Chains A and B, each alone.
Chain A
Amino acid sequence: MAFNRRKFLLGVGGALVGLPFLEGLAAKTARADDALPPYALFYRRGNGVQQALFDRKPNAEPERWWPQIPYGSITASKLAASTNSAIALELASYASKLAIVRGLRHPVGTQSGHREGFIQGLTGAGVKYPNDKPDAYNCDPLGESLDNRIARELTPASSMSMYMAVGAHALGGVSFLTAQDAQGKQVTRAGDENLLALYSRIFLSAERETEEAALRLLVERRKSVNDLVRDQLVALRKDPRLSKSDVERLNGHTDAIRDVEQSLSCVLPATLQGDLSTYQKSYDADWSKGSVVAKFGTVMSQLAALALACGATRSLLINVGEPQDVITYHDVADASSYDFHSISHRQSDDDRNAISNAQLMHHSIDRFHLQLFRSILDRLSAYRYADGTTLLDQGVCLHYSDIGSGQHEITQLPYLYVGSAGGALRTGLYQDESGQAVVKLLNTIGAAVGCKSSTGGPLDDFNASNNGDIRGRLTSLVAD
């Protein structure tokens, strides 16, 4: 990993500081455009979404995913008019930073299985059928996934994405490397389900304890000084003799202290290590993992935001559930009676009986995932720069499922992103891209964070040699 772990140490109360690193970082990050380079975060969840399309019928169910508003620019108030849409219900507050990309499809699929979907979700490259005939259960990837491509190209010393998972039971199927295994298949990665171990690997230093202790003291004392100064500034701002511009300057001073303490200082939330430890115990005790997904969201969002803020990675993948998600979502009250895969098919996997209200259960799980996704956005937004932008603005966060709905549709794939990758992507829009291949969105995102094509231009040929030479970006999403 390119990130230099040696420079990070755990401070008292969970404060994590990497002093040599920070001193260089803070000087460069007075403004967001001097800040960290763009990153990509991928949030993947399975089983498609509850939308009008189901079982390959365009209006089989009520629409509860896509906003029922015209395409074009979106605002919170416009989204609010679409009261049944999970996106509108959960992401309206991010409307200005959101792009809903409707109508994408995979180039290949039998429409009868999950595997073709989750293989292609981040590769956009079709699938390889070993028996040379379409087989939903026997297919392999054709190309690396974008999360690893970004890491490999932009952080060569750390050629894999940071990959967190919950309820995946060590199964792969979402993230792929260029390397091949002994059978000639591309290596499939499994997400890291031990977040405490992940945290330790990234942030806990191998420094000697004495150095840790010294830095811990320094962190503690700096906080004391900052508290003293903050108190002074608060008192000063209350002085009625001060003008508006005086107060604005003092507010800027207060913001600067916060910036240095938080986003620029790479400081962990005080309770994170403890939370991670608690979470991991819960996780390890729940074989099905169905009772810990909300807890996962709480710690995952903190850890993800911190890793990005500290520059530990530029590509981060979060996967919930086995590629074919069989979690029983105990955190979603009205959907806790069945596993998600059953719900997504509207019938029980056990007895094949129909599940009443399965559509609404699926919708509730969709909203739950968006809530987890939003918790990441909230964390990233809390890292603020002096110019008013946030860490969220510096990157792009993609939320997707690799099939359209529970019946394995490879069309109407539910992709959306939040964040402009430092201004490279358009946001605040609801875009119709009907019939376009997912790989064009992947090209768009890859290019936005800095990936190049084989000819040196912005990425527009990701896995093109494997997907029937589908090239190009979705220009409607590229900022001018």
Chain B
Amino acid sequence: MVRSPAPFLMLVVALVSGCDDDQHAPAPKPGPSTSATDSDDCVQPTCRNVPLPLSAHAIRLTHAQWENTVRDLLHLAAAPGLSVSFPSDPAPPGDRFGTAADSLLVTSALWHEYQRAAEALAELVVTTPSTLDALLPTAAKSGDDVAARTSAFVEDFLPRAYRRPVTPAEVAAAVALGARAAASDATSEPFLLQVRWILAGVLQSASFLYRLEGGEGAVVDGRSRLGPYELASKLSYSLWGTMPNDELRGYAASGRLSRPDTVTSIVKEMVATPSFDRTLVDFHDQLFRIPAFSGVVRQSKLFPKFYPQFGADAQEDVRRTIQDLIVTNPGTVADLYGSRAAWVNAPLAGVYGIDPASVPGLAAAPTTFMRVEMPRPRAGILSHVGWLAMQGKPKDPATIQRGVFVARHTLCLPIGSPPPAAAGKDPSQILAPTNRERVSGLTAGCGDGCHGGAGGVINPFGFAFEEFDSLGQLRTTDGAFAIDSTGSVPPLPNGFSLPSDFADASSLMALLSENPWTHACYAAHWNAYLNGTSDLRPTSAWLAPVVAKSLKGASVRDLVAELVQQDAFTTVSH
């Protein structure tokens, strides 16, 4: 599904140079600290000599990573599910992935839960013979010398738990922890008692709970490269959501993760695994806010085709579509925003305006999800009923929210927060015959560069979806009036532009699918997801190689593989 860039794109690239008028990105600082890309090679908008992102060096595992890690570390058949009682992490503004280090704190409540979970897991291990047997190295499985067995266990377990070689002092500390437990209890079997409390302790230790990425070697331009074990860990958590496996740790030990050429082959292997498939799903789940679909409720009087399972079915639709486009097939960014693929069961087909009888097999199996082609003007994920309904009010479409989403999350254009005076105001308060007029009336006072007017992008983007009602159904009229979904966005001072006006959502998506800002924004989101930042600026030069590949039709899988080989991923700031 590799595509050539559209002719107009070449024109845009040729017309824009330097991009120094990006009013939203910080002014470039003198000095290096950038990736290799220079403005001569950049693809707009990634032309600013922006320093690589600052790094966190101690990043607490996310709850999902914690689950996967204990599963793999303890050789459990499945994740234990204990994190369900962990307090949710706060998401800082701008971060929609929950991987930002600043939001991953150990609070009192979380520490208490870590404590309980670690003790529960430790007990589980020592009381489940098969689990214990899988965990213990041969030298620790039997024998009369409890101390020797304990040491053998620690020496095997600790490097896996800490995801790096350990020091003799660390081994001694863990052994001592077990010895203290045994000394206080003469009635329990000493080896199991020690294993239990060593497990409980290690699972609460900082080296287990945090990804420690201090960097190694020379500091050049304020950055150093991640050590091989640090890189193994970061790659594993970023691409697989769990601890590095034995093979990856072996690569670190052998030096293969210290050489760019072998890193490339290792990454290629990693992104071809089912574990990375799950990461792909997780990323897009959050990018498009799919979990929020389940909150959609409409009155049947206003929306007769709404049904109780709508939210869940709409989620299934988008997830299957992404699976189809990106996971099963080597789909691209353009596919995400331009594909007409959807997956529907019979009730959801009705919401789409598709006759179930027209879908082979669907009438016979109405609860089965079938792949369909969405009719115009639908195109891309943002035309699926779930996303449209999520961006809907009880009666009218949430036009402003739809526009904001496109601007902020598809293009990464800076959109300010509503002014305090806008609080409590809603288009329904405006007396006008159509939703578009009500939105225009409500936002008219905002001025140029705001919702509409010169430089305003929110309303034009939002109006493109006027053909979809609050449930995402196609509509041709708004009351007694014909729908107007046309729009235009003049070039912005930061370099963003569209080559033409658009008539509807379909044509807007066609423009966006091939716009470099869409590709840069998508890459910026992955960068935030992989590097744990909330920086969604698409204007950094170090994104340029990825954006260039994306524009040329590289698959999402390949884009991620490219991103994790960039200095922004493989080095840390100091």
A interface residues with partner B (beta carbon < 8 Å):
23, 26-30, 217, 220-222, 224-225, 228-229, 231-233, 236, 239, 241-243, 245-246, 249-250, 252-253, 255-257, 259-260, 264, 385-386
> A249 vs B173: C-alpha distance in the bound complex, in angstroms?
24
The interface residues of chain A lying within 8 Å CB-to-CB of B116 are 23
> A253 vs B574: C-alpha distance in the bound complex, in angstroms?
22
With beta carbons under 8 angstroms apart, the residue of A30, A233, A241, A245 that contacts B206 is A233
Quick one: which of A30, A233, A241 has the most chain B CB within 10 A?
A: A241
The interface residues of chain B lying within 8 Å CB-to-CB of A231 are 173
The interface residues of chain A lying within 8 Å CB-to-CB of B490 are none
B57 touching A257 by the CB < 8 A rule?
no
A224 touching B107 by the CB < 8 A rule?
no
Q: A242-B57, A246-B56 are in contact. Are A264 and B181 (CB under 8 A)?
A: no
A23 touching B184 by the CB < 8 A rule?
no
Quick one: which of A26, A221, A252 has the most chain B CB within 10 A?
A: A221
8 shortest A-B CB distances, which residue pairs?
A: A30-B109, A241-B214, A253-B106, A259-B108, A26-B112, A256-B111, A232-B206, A225-B201
B58 touching A250 by the CB < 8 A rule?
yes
Determine how close the nearest CB of chain B comes to the CB of A108; give it in whole angstroms.
49
B107 touching A225 by the CB < 8 A rule?
no
Determine how close the nearest CB of chain A comes to the CB of B188; give it in whole angstroms.
9
10 contacts between A and B (CB under 8 A): A26-B108, A221-B181, A221-B184, A224-B180, A225-B177, A225-B197, A225-B201, A241-B215, A241-B574, A256-B107
With beta carbons under 8 angstroms apart, the residue of A29, A236, A253, A255 that contacts B109 is A29
- Interface readout for B538-574 with A: 1 if CB under 8 Å, 0 if not? 0000000000000000000000000000000000111
> A28 vs B200: C-alpha distance in the bound complex, in angstroms?
23
Number of interface residues of B (CB under 8 A): 44
A29 touching B108 by the CB < 8 A rule?
yes
Determine how close the nearest CB of chain B comes to the CB of A355; give it in whole angstroms.
53
A30 touching B197 by the CB < 8 A rule?
no
With beta carbons under 8 angstroms apart, the residue of B101, B111, B174, B212 that contacts A236 is B212
Nearest-neighbor residue (CB-CB) of B207 within chain A: A232
> A228 vs B154: C-alpha distance in the bound complex, in angstroms?
15
> A28 vs B60: C-alpha distance in the bound complex, in angstroms?
22
A257 touching B111 by the CB < 8 A rule?
yes
Determine how close the nearest CB of chain A comes to the CB of B355; give it in whole angstroms.
52
Determine how close the nearest CB of chain A comes to the CB of B82; give it in whole angstroms.
14
The interface residues of chain A lying within 8 Å CB-to-CB of B85 are 27
Determine how close the nearest CB of chain A comes to the CB of B120; give it in whole angstroms.
12
A220 touching B177 by the CB < 8 A rule?
no
> A239 vs B206: C-alpha distance in the bound complex, in angstroms?
13
Q: Say whether B429 faces chain A, with CB atoms less than 8 Å apart.
A: no
> A233 vs B184: C-alpha distance in the bound complex, in angstroms?
26
Having A28-B109, A252-B105, one finds 4 other A-B pairs with CB under 8 Å, namely A26-B108, A30-B108, A239-B214, A255-B108
A222 touching B108 by the CB < 8 A rule?
no
The interface residues of chain B lying within 8 Å CB-to-CB of A242 are 57-58, 214
Determine how close the nearest CB of chain B comes to the CB of A242; give it in whole angstroms.
5
Q: Say whether B102 faces chain A, with CB atoms less than 8 Å apart.
A: yes
Nearest-neighbor residue (CB-CB) of A255 within chain B: B108
Quick one: which of A231, A252, A260 has the most chain B CB within 10 A?
A: A260
Nearest-neighbor residue (CB-CB) of A257 within chain B: B111
With beta carbons under 8 angstroms apart, the residue of A224, A239, A245 that contacts B181 is A224
The interface residues of chain A lying within 8 Å CB-to-CB of B113 are 27
The interface residues of chain A lying within 8 Å CB-to-CB of B56 are 243, 245-246
> A260 vs B110: C-alpha distance in the bound complex, in angstroms?
10
Nearest-neighbor residue (CB-CB) of A28 within chain B: B109
B interface residues with partner A (beta carbon < 8 Å):
54-58, 60, 85, 87, 101-102, 104-113, 115-116, 118, 173-174, 177, 180-181, 184-185, 197, 200-201, 204-207, 210, 212, 214-215, 572-574
> A423 vs B131: C-alpha distance in the bound complex, in angstroms?
51
Quick one: which of B58, B173, B174, B212 has the most chain A CB within 10 A?
A: B58
The interface residues of chain A lying within 8 Å CB-to-CB of B106 are 249, 252-253, 256
Determine how close the nearest CB of chain A comes to the CB of B72; give it in whole angstroms.
22
A256 touching B108 by the CB < 8 A rule?
yes
Nearest-neighbor residue (CB-CB) of B573 within chain A: A243
B108 touching A264 by the CB < 8 A rule?
yes
> A23 vs B115: C-alpha distance in the bound complex, in angstroms?
10
Nearest-neighbor residue (CB-CB) of B213 within chain A: A241
A217 touching B184 by the CB < 8 A rule?
yes
The interface residues of chain B lying within 8 Å CB-to-CB of A228 are 173-174, 177, 201, 205
A27 touching B112 by the CB < 8 A rule?
yes
The interface residues of chain A lying within 8 Å CB-to-CB of B574 are 241
Determine how close the nearest CB of chain B comes to the CB of A232; give it in whole angstroms.
4
A236 touching B177 by the CB < 8 A rule?
no
A260 touching B207 by the CB < 8 A rule?
no
Nearest-neighbor residue (CB-CB) of B174 within chain A: A228
Determine how close the nearest CB of chain B comes to the CB of A71; give it in whole angstroms.
37
> A241 vs B226: C-alpha distance in the bound complex, in angstroms?
12
> A261 vs B60: C-alpha distance in the bound complex, in angstroms?
21
The interface residues of chain B lying within 8 Å CB-to-CB of A222 are 115
> A233 vs B105: C-alpha distance in the bound complex, in angstroms?
14
Quick one: which of A27, A217, A246 has the most chain B CB within 10 A?
A: A246
Q: A239-B214, A253-B106, A256-B107 are in contact. Are A224 and B201 (CB under 8 A)?
A: yes
A252 touching B109 by the CB < 8 A rule?
no
Determine how close the nearest CB of chain B comes to the CB of A15; give it in whole angstroms.
13
Determine how close the nearest CB of chain B comes to the CB of A259; give it in whole angstroms.
4
With beta carbons under 8 angstroms apart, the residue of A217, A229, A233, A249 that contacts B101 is A249
A385 touching B108 by the CB < 8 A rule?
yes
The interface residues of chain A lying within 8 Å CB-to-CB of B112 are 23, 26-27, 260, 264
The interface residues of chain B lying within 8 Å CB-to-CB of A229 are 201, 204-206
Determine how close the nearest CB of chain A comes to the CB of B395; give it in whole angstroms.
37
The interface residues of chain A lying within 8 Å CB-to-CB of B200 are 221, 225
The interface residues of chain B lying within 8 Å CB-to-CB of A233 are 206
> A246 vs B106: C-alpha distance in the bound complex, in angstroms?
12
> A236 vs B184: C-alpha distance in the bound complex, in angstroms?
29
> A250 vs B210: C-alpha distance in the bound complex, in angstroms?
10
The interface residues of chain A lying within 8 Å CB-to-CB of B214 are 239, 241-242
> A21 vs B113: C-alpha distance in the bound complex, in angstroms?
14
> A62 vs B54: C-alpha distance in the bound complex, in angstroms?
63
The interface residues of chain A lying within 8 Å CB-to-CB of B118 are 225
> A249 vs B215: C-alpha distance in the bound complex, in angstroms?
19
B111 touching A253 by the CB < 8 A rule?
yes
Determine how close the nearest CB of chain B comes to the CB of A473; give it in whole angstroms.
34
> A189 vs B569: C-alpha distance in the bound complex, in angstroms?
70
Q: A229-B205, A241-B574, A260-B115 are in contact. Are A30 and B57 (CB under 8 A)?
A: no
Determine how close the nearest CB of chain B comes to the CB of A240; give it in whole angstroms.
9
> A257 vs B108: C-alpha distance in the bound complex, in angstroms?
7
The interface residues of chain B lying within 8 Å CB-to-CB of A241 are 57, 214-215, 572, 574
Nearest-neighbor residue (CB-CB) of A384 within chain B: B108
A253 touching B206 by the CB < 8 A rule?
yes
With beta carbons under 8 angstroms apart, the residue of B60, B174, B184 that contacts A249 is B60
> A439 vs B493: C-alpha distance in the bound complex, in angstroms?
68
Determine how close the nearest CB of chain A comes to the CB of B507; give it in whole angstroms.
45
The interface residues of chain B lying within 8 Å CB-to-CB of A260 are 108, 111-112, 115
> A239 vs B118: C-alpha distance in the bound complex, in angstroms?
26
